[in-house]
Amino acid sequence: MLSPECAMPGAGNATAIDRAIDRSRVADLAAEAVRIKSYSGDEAEIATCMADRMSALGLEVRLQEVALRRFNAIGIWHGRRDAPSFMYNGHMDTNPAGEGWTRDPLGGERDEQFVYGIGVCNMKSANASALHAVEALKAAGFEPQGDLILAFVVGELQGGIGTLKMIEEGVRADHFVVGEPTELTLLTRHAASFVFEIWVAGKTRHLSKREEGIDAIAKLETLLPRLRAMEFSGATEAARSLNRVHIGVIRGGMSKEFFDWRPQQLADTAMIKCAGRFGPGQTLEGAMHDLQALLDEFSAGDPDFRAELRLVTQNRVFMPPFSVDEDARPVRAFAQAHREVAGAEPKIGAHTPARFFGSDAAHLAVAGMTGLLYGPGGQFNTMPDERVAIDEMVVASRCYARVIAELLGPEP
């Protein structure tokens, strides 16, 4: 039964929703998710958990198979009539935990200020905030006019394979929010994301005769500064701030198997794996052309420089750049919700470092949906002792709930 306070959008509606948001509950949901290991490629358990949570709320739930033992968990709260729909999209896969942690990455520890653990920033805290927002709306007696879709997806860290599968099978909404860790910034523009490799060939000799050989590692070293300073062609002023090349992996040694037990030999093979970023108006074809032109320049200046460029496509898809008009309805709705909940003007636009994200928002926008990125966390993202402030989760949960009530609530 719809409570009088929730009968239509307005101050009473927001008050009822805010009262239903529980700080401890949203922290517990995030901590519970952290305790389920879900490195990209191993999301079956977390998908089942999210499906069970949505089923308990009475949503129509399906586990959508993306690959072997990899499932999107999709829940739909059906509206009462044909009306605009809204989707929360959040990925369940996480990075692996690296070195330097002082807490258990999978412990789901929490104190009065933070929830800790691998993936809590990216993006289990936002998923918990969205799930609890629906719990709060249910508790407040809200009934959506249009469909509300909770899409907890896999494989975002591989370019968004889960979201692409979801779109391919017809799961869509008019409006969306992606809960990436934007530090509660309304992110309306971010870079494209692609991965490439460069393989450099040399000639091996024993170190006693290295003057007769070609050291692939030494050749590669000359290239690295130019790559780090790379700006792709066709950049507008706005897109220029989204251009970046990051060298994430370096390998070198004997043969393409990189035998490392014989350091007395010159490396005849060296390889780097890089992440590339560029902005709206630029293209993947243009970026790859620019990279090849750089290699050709080095080869022209040094006949011993031989390199091959490869776009990485195995187990990965390209994420295009993302952009949305700041006057779009979901952007305005989130700006107003944040203003009321946080008591401050929201940051809107291409925020650093979130502007260098790749995200599923790009795929949703290409499919014709309108939305933005907004989520808790970011300050301690992808680092040892990753953590998110519980207060940020509460703000996000209240904003998600208010926007859902605004976009899907009864018309005045």
- Give the model confidence (pLDDT) of 58-114 as tens digits: 999 999 999 999 999 999 999 977 899 999 999 999 999 999 999 999 999 999 999
> Is residue 47 domain-shared with residue 159, that is, in the same domain?
yes
Indicate the pTM of the whole model: 0.93
Q: Domain range holding 268?
A: 193-311
Tokens 């909770």 sit at which residue? Answer: 150
Euclidean distance between CA atoms 15 and 90, whole angstroms: 26
Q: What is the pLDDT of residue 412?
A: 43
> Is residue 349 domain-shared with residue 302, that is, in the same domain?
no
pLDDT score of 135 more than 90: yes
Q: What is the pLDDT of residue 4?
A: 36
Measured CA distances, 10 to 16, 32, 79, 395, 397 (Å):
10, 33, 20, 18, 18
Dihedral sign for Cα atoms in the order 144, 149, 152, 158:
negative
> Is residue 216 domain-shared with residue 283, that is, in the same domain?
yes
CATH number at residue 267: 3.30.70.360
> Is residue 147 domain-shared with residue 260, that is, in the same domain?
no
The model's pLDDT over 33-57, given as tens digits with 9 standing for 90+, comes to: 999 999 999 999 999 999 999 999 9
Backbone angles phi, psi at 305, to 5 degrees: -90, 115
> Is residue 214 domain-shared with residue 307, that is, in the same domain?
yes
Residues 6+ apart with CB under 8 A from 128: 26, 27, 29, 30, 33, 393, 397
| CA-wise closest residue to 278 among 347, 230, 326, 225 | 230
Residue type, 104: D
316: in domain: no
Backbone angles phi, psi at 158, to 5 degrees: -105, 15
CATH number at residue 68: 3.40.630.10
Sheet (strand 244-253) strand order: 244-253, 269-278, 192-201, 306-311
337: in domain: yes
Q: At what angle do helices 44-56 and 23-34 cross, to 10 degrees?
A: 150
Compute how many other C-beta atoms are within 10 angstroms of the C-beta atom of residue 94.
Answer: 30
How many domains is the chain built from? 2
Q: What is the mean pLDDT of residues 295-311?
A: 98
pLDDT score of 411 more than 70: no
Q: What is the pLDDT of residue 12?
A: 55
Q: What is the pLDDT of residue 237?
A: 87
Give the domain-ending residue among 245, 280, 311.
311
> Is residue 12 domain-shared with residue 153, that is, in the same domain?
yes
Q: At what angle do helices 11-20 and 125-139 cross, to 10 degrees?
A: 120
18: in domain: yes
Under 8 Å between Cβ of 247 and 227 = yes
| CA-wise closest residue to 147 among 176, 125, 124 | 176
The model's pLDDT over 212-223, given as tens digits with 9 standing for 90+, comes to: 999 999 999 999
Strand partners, 372: 177
Measured CA distances, 16 to 5, 105, 140, 143 (Å):
6, 36, 6, 13
pLDDT score of 147 more than 90: yes
Task: List, as own/partner pairs, every contact residues 218-224 make where C-beta atoms lie below 8 angstroms and the sequence separation is at least 24, other chains included.
Answer: 219/270, 219/302, 219/304, 219/305, 219/307, 220/250, 220/252, 220/270, 220/272, 222/298, 222/305, 223/198, 223/294, 223/295, 223/298, 223/307, 224/272
Q: What is the mean pLDDT of residues 314-320?
A: 94
